[in-house]
Amino acid sequence: MANLKEIRNRITSVGSTMQITSAMKMVSAAKLKRAQDAITQMRPYANKLTELLVNLSSSLETSEGGEFSSDRPQSKILLVAITSNRGLCGGFNANIIKKINLLLQEDYKESQVSILSIGKKSSEYFNNNNFSVVSTHDDVFSDLTYDSIASIANSIMQDYINQKFDKVVLVYNQFKNAATQNVMNEAYLPVESINENESSIGDYIFEPEKKEIIEELIPKSLKTQLYKAVLDSHASEHGARMTAMHKATDNASELKKDLTLTYNKARQAAITAEILEIVGGAEALNS
């Protein structure tokens, strides 16, 4: 059994850790509220814009200017990995890396795959493991704005138009609640159309021409879709960290209780041993 000093040091250490994890939990909870408000306000607009785009593009031919919905062999794939800049958030980052490795082994094993990383954790992993990384964007979370994400989306769209990539896929954590994040494998480019029997476009009167509306709408929709994915990931990160720190605080509390019990038992045993020594010495003197 460890001596009393060692146990006291461990209790102090666990108590300090518990204070840190508790503080990190509260900080993440405060940040989560802002991030959750941002994604819940953004999601309906982004979903409706994407729905409208898909409906309109279903009636648009490539020859009419649908360069983002062109049908060509998908041999060159770009995976956009969205993670965080920091750890201590459970399996948040590991789940994205695991999903991408799974896609490489199953869906795109015959394709030429490149990675565009958003977040330091994905950048570090893919660069250190010799993946084909076209660019890294680790600074977006320090100033998360629509404009900063739009510039990344513009770069991706330009590479797609220039046929540098045939397909672009977003891999990110979708925010559901503080304790649940769903790993998404979401098609980004080409813009997917729907079957005519599934279309709900109806009879629209286009002003100006439909072609002009589509050419303006597609880039805006793609920028919004990427921005929504980053906001989803940002909210998921804070939710995952808050949950992880809550569990860590609970575990530290339980460990501190166990150590305190062990300390009390060891202290009681030491006191009992001292009493027995005193009694034994007194008996020896009386005999």
Average pLDDT over residues 199-221: 72
Overall domain count for the chain: 1
The parent domain of residue 164 ranges over 22-244
Return mean pLDDT, the chain.
Answer: 86
Catalytic residue among 7, 24, 89, 170: 89
CA distances, 25 to each of 18, 21, 149, 164, 174 (Å): 10, 6, 28, 43, 20
Least confident of 97-101, 169-173, 174-178: 174-178
What are the φ/ψ torsions at residue 17 (nearest 5 degrees)?
Answer: -60, -40
Which CATH number covers residue 216? 3.40.1380.10
Q: Is residue 55 part of a domain?
A: yes
Within a domain: 156: yes
In-domain check, residue 254: no
Could you tell me what percent of the chain has a pLDDT over 70?
89
Mean pLDDT, rounded, for 184-195: 79
**Is residue 280 in a domain?**
no
Strand, coil or helix: 66:
coil
Token pair listed for 187: 């098609």
- Does a structural domain hold residue 51? yes
Q: Kind of pairing, strands 167-177 and 180-189?
A: antiparallel
Q: Indicate whether 202 pLDDT > 60.
A: no
Which residue is associated with the tokens 């150590």?
259
| Average pLDDT of span 101-110 | 91
Residue 151 lies in a domain: yes
Residue bearing tokens 């279309």: 199
In whole angstroms, give the CA distance from residue 215 to residue 76: 24
Of the candidates 137, 146, 139, 122, the one whose C-alpha atom is nearest the C-alpha of residue 38 is 146
pLDDT band, very low/low/confident/very high, at 68 (cuts 50, 70, 90):
confident
Judged against a pLDDT cut of 60, whether residue 185 lies above it is answered with: yes
Is 228 a catalytic site residue? no
| Domain annotation covers residue 277 | no
Above 50 in pLDDT, residue 197? no
The span from the CA of 134 to the CA of 284, in Å, is 84
Q: What is the pLDDT of residues 14-33, one digit of tens each?
A: 999 999 999 999 999 999 99
Confidence grade of residue 204 (pLDDT, cut at 50, 70, 90): low
pLDDT of residue 11: 92
Question: 135: which strand partners?
Answer: 116
